[in-house]
Amino acid sequence: MLLAFDTASPTVTVALHDGSDVVASATATTAMKHGEQLAPLIEQVLASAGARPADLTAIAVGAGPGPFTGLRVGLVTARTMGHVLGIAVHGVCSLDALAIEAVETGAVDGDFLVATDARRKEVYLASYDGRGVRTSEPVVDRPAALATDRPVVGEGAALYPDAFPAGREPLRPDAAWLARAVAAERVALLAPEPLYLRRPDAEIPQAPKAVLSDVAPTP
């Protein structure tokens, strides 16, 4: 059994695939709170399918790009479970799951793009062919710099309609489609490493500020 989950968007989503189709899935009703919601949702999905952790044979996890804090919750959960259970852990670009869903639900016809919210007034974006195969590495940039009239799937288009006038659903990754995409071998399997695409914000401090006024007191 394949356990799939994604935490690279504000929505935590979990699904279980038995080799022929998705047998259970759950999506958090509250946005964010990835650290609180992921483990109980996994437990719930396993229970509703009558499965135990020992029944799992592989894990697929959304590797982003997406907001870092949530992304890490998914990746560390996948890596830890994979380690305990001794099973393979596959990373999947989170935009790919959206692309497969868009193709399979008929939301797109021909080449298209996927854009998700990168915060700080930027989007993550990658391009796909009509079968949902990714044709570019994901990038992060301002919507204006990536603007296009082509069809764009994902929340990035919904947030910035001026840059992406042909936006459409689905908006956020759904683990059921992530599971199907992996089971059908329709997406590239990556190491479960986060696709950060940005360096950490950190500044090297200046020399200590002077604390004295003009006249130095006697030490």
Helices (H), 120-202: 143-146, 155-159, 175-183
Under the criterion CB under 8 A, does residue 186 sit at the interface with another protein? no
CB of 187 to another protein, least distance (A): 22
- What is the closest distance, in whole angstroms, from the C-beta atom of residue 163 to another protein in the complex? 27
Question: Around Cβ 135, how many Cβ atoms within 10 Å?
Answer: 10
Distance CA 141, CA 149 (A): 17
CB 43, min distance to another protein, A? 6
Closer residue to another protein (CB): 84 or 184: 84
Q: What's the closest the beta carbon of residue 158 comes to another protein, in angstroms?
A: 27
Q: Tell me how far apart the alpha carbons of residues 141 and 102 are, in angstroms, rounded to a whole number.
A: 23
Q: Find the shortest distance in angstroms from Cβ 168 to another protein.
A: 32
Site string for another protein, 60-99 (x = CB under 8 A): --------xx--xx-xxxxxxx-xxx--------------
Q: Where does this chain touch another protein (CB under 8 A) — which range of 30-38, 119-127, 129-137, 167-175?
A: 30-38
User: Count of residues binding another protein (CB under 8 A)?
Assistant: 41
Using alpha carbons, list the distances in angstroms from residue 17 to 56, 57, 168, 187. 10, 10, 27, 16
d(CA 58, CA 82): 8
Rounded Cα gap, residues 153 and 113, in angstroms: 6
Q: Which stretch binds another protein (CB under 8 A): 16-24, 28-36, 97-105, 130-138?
A: 28-36
